[in-house]
Amino acid sequence: MAKLWGGRFSKATDTLVDDFNSSIRFDSRMYVQDIEGSMAHAEMLGRQGIIDKNDADLIVKTLAEIKKDIDDGKVEFLIDAEDIHMNIETILISRIGDVGKRLHTGRSRNDQVALDTRMYLRAQIDDIYALCEELKKTLLDIAENNLNTIMPGYTHLQKAQPITLAHHVMAYYEMLNRDCSRLMDCRKRLNVMPLGSGALAGTTYPLDREFVAEKLGFDGVTLNSLDGVSDRDFVCELAFDLSMIMTHMSRFSEEIILWSSNEFGFIDLDDAYSTGSSIMPQKKNPDVAELVRGKTGRVYGSLMGLLTMMKGIPLAYNKDMQEDKEQIFDAIDTVKMCLPVFSKMLATMKIKKDAMLQGAKGGFTNATDVADYLVKHGLPFRDAHTVVGRLVAYCIEKNTVIDALSLEELKGFSELIDEDIYSEISLETCVNQRKLVGGPAMDTMRKIIDNYKKD
């Protein structure tokens, strides 16, 4: 097939090079954006009198027909037409001849691919945002049903202080909130229209860039043509945002894996969201959580790949940049696959409240509250810390817990201790006294949840 750029060449491209160079395998997924961009460009060329108005109309009409044919699976793309841009232009020319050849006036594939990528990623951001919102809703439901499900909170994976499952789950809600706001930041920065940048130095035609921007839903136009064709910040930025979403899901996945183990026994994953073993009949494995954790690696890989691909390339467009697509597409596909399945896995898991409570009773999770009790009765905190440290060592020795000691035994450690110690260090008190904003107390969490439900 003759190349659209073949004029100065005396030989056909080697088929190896055709295969090597071609991006149609993966950029065909931007055909909607490519066609919408071309329609707006053609309409603008007609309005500005750069091409004949009737020609513009015919181009727009034919592009709409091509889109429909692609939607219906009637079009086969060609490897040697290189990419989605030239495939569609080739089809256009095959249908309307010379008129079709006028479409590319005042445009380069360099600003065209920048436009398509921005539009495609914008739509993907909106999809992913909606999926994050769904996961947030699942978290909110779990939290609401577990405002007083006491469980151990951990640091260093050692039992630390009692919290509630609502508090724990809402920590992930905060992460997801930041993820959503990061996605919107990225969307804002990518939503500027690059057509008019040309190959690198703009164009001599009196294009109406603002018209095209408005038509395609952009907030404005790019202000430097070199940057317009070579900026891929928004691709890297989105890859980072997606990596962060995966980071968050992988942390929760790790906890789900631990919690579903026989050692913890805090949750039971639904049969529909677990798998068995081919040899061990008793096994029920948390594969979904493990795969989400594992797939985090490939999204990070995309981010590193993109950053490394962009590193050190001179202005303006370089073919290296064609490599942005597979990486960001893979990251997008991965996140879009993980979010809904992760969300469903959480929504269907059985929470074993008794096991959580039992877990919170071990590991001296109320030791800080014993120290705080002594402080309230006048002891400086550092001294209280030492007293309770001794108390804990004594309990370990006797294989018991603080609450199980008699008042006499307790008084042996500090005369300040009285009968009310037992209610003051009960797990319920420990949780519900932590009622500062951000803390696990039931009333505090209730208010936070109600507030989020209003959004």
Interface positions with ligand ARG (CB under 6 A): 23, 27, 83, 109-110, 113, 317, 319, 321-322
Cross-strand pairs, 161? 153
Residue 85's contacts (CB-CB under 8 Å, 6 or more residues apart) are: 34, 109, 112, 113, 116
Residue 110 or 203: the one with the smaller Cβ distance to ligand ARG is 110
Q: What is the rounded distance in angstroms from the CA atom of residue 330 to the CA atom of residue 234?
A: 16
Other beta carbons within 10 Å of 74: 9
The 8-class DSSP code of residue 439 comes to: S
- Tell me the pairing of strands 267-268 and 220-221: unpaired
Relative orientation angle of helices 287-310 and 233-259, to the nearest 10 degrees: 160
What are 204's two structure tokens?
């001599």
Q: What is the rounded distance in angstroms from the CA atom of residue 92 to the CA atom of residue 56?
A: 12
Distance of closest approach, residue 109 Cβ to ligand ARG, in angstroms: 4
Spot the catalytic one: 156, 278, 406, 423: 156
Residue 113 or 289: the one with the smaller Cβ distance to ligand ARG is 113
Residue 109 or 168: the one with the smaller Cβ distance to ligand ARG is 109
Distance of closest approach, residue 23 Cβ to ligand ARG, in angstroms: 4
Residue 31 or 317: the one with the smaller Cβ distance to ligand ARG is 317
Residue 27 or 43: the one with the smaller Cβ distance to ligand ARG is 27
Give 368: exposed, middle or buried? Use CB within 10 Å, 0-12, 13-18, 19+. Answer: middle
Instruction: Dump strand ranges (E) for 187-337.
Output: 192-193, 220-221, 267-268
| Cα 150 → chain centroid | 30
The 8-class DSSP code of residue 218 comes to: -
Other beta carbons within 10 Å of 382: 9
Residue 232 or 434: the one with the smaller Cβ distance to ligand ARG is 232
Distance of closest approach, residue 86 Cβ to ligand ARG, in angstroms: 8
Q: What is the rounded distance in angstroms from the CA atom of residue 114 to the CA atom of residue 179?
A: 25
Reply yes or no on whether 108 is catalytic. Answer: no
Distance of closest approach, residue 82 Cβ to ligand ARG, in angstroms: 7
Distance of closest approach, residue 206 Cβ to ligand ARG, in angstroms: 24
Reply yes or no on whether 168 is catalytic. Answer: no
Spot the catalytic one: 22, 167, 277, 426: 277
- Residues catalogued as catalytic: 156, 277
